[in-house]
Amino acid sequence: MLRKILETLSPTYCLWCYKKNDLFLCPEHLEIINSFLCPVCHLKFPEIKIKKITCPSCSQKTYLDGLFPIFRLNEPLEKLIHSYKYDLYFDLVKTICFISKEFIYNKFKDFYFIPIPSHKSKIKERGFDHIRLILENMDLKILDALLKIRKTKPQAQTEFLERSQNIKDAFVLKEKNLPEVVFLFDDIKTTGSTLNEACKILKQGGAKLVFALTLATK
């Protein structure tokens, strides 16, 4: 009960350990990856190069050309993202941007970022587009190339084997003139079904290289 009171009344406490912290999450709780991974098997690639980064044995299983997660998903970070996304702690976007911007900005600021879109009903329910808002606050180049036309069950509430079917045909292309290289942006990558479906649409629209950049992956 005390923790809930602190969470509600004092926004200067870490959401995980409840120590006083202006960032809502103590830096020592973060597990940094900050590297390209194969989008399927998560093999780590040491070099940051804008080229296809997928294991040959995995390349037939995904449309993505590489995955760049900033952090390993752990309980503290998951709580931060969940509180922002579902409990509508709007101010948490500042913390998310603070802990992420340097990793993104130093490497990829010249590229266009395409936010994974939410359905219009979900945006209306929350009052904001939680993925797009992160990009806006990091002052990155945003390209609203995708539209979600079908309301889907939350992927987190869907069995792993059903996630591809759940998200199938949920996106359509809004932007006809796509850059050759783009970055999809989402909060968490689990099975990769959402990112893969979005990537498929972008490649059908003319994108040559599509990478996924996420706050975290499991």
Residue 5 lies in a domain: no
Residue 41 lies in a domain: yes
Residue 158 lies in domain: 29-73+88-217
Residue 44 has a pLDDT of 93
Distances (CA, A) of 106 to 34, 48, 138, 140: 11, 11, 12, 11
Residue 8 lies in a domain: no
**CB 194 within 8 Å of CB 156:** no
Residue 15 lies in a domain: no
Residue 5 has a pLDDT of 44
Residue 106 has a pLDDT of 86
Please tell me the distance from the alpha carbon of residue 208 to that of residue 193, in angstroms, as a whole number: 19
Residue 81 lies in a domain: no
Could you give the number of structural domains in the chain?
Answer: 1
Residue 157 has a pLDDT of 66
Residue 183 lies in a domain: yes
Helix or strand holding residue 134 (H, E): helix 130-137
What is the CATH classification number for the domain harbouring 196? Answer: 3.40.50
Residue 2 has a pLDDT of 40
Residue 22 lies in a domain: no
CA-closest candidate to residue 111, choices 62, 54, 68, 47: 68
Residue 143 lies in a domain: yes
Tell me the average confidence (pLDDT) per consecutive run of 10 residues in the chain, 218 residues long: 47 84 90 94 86 90 96 96 88 92 91 96 91 94 96 72 82 94 96 95 97 96
**CB 192 within 8 Å of CB 218:** no
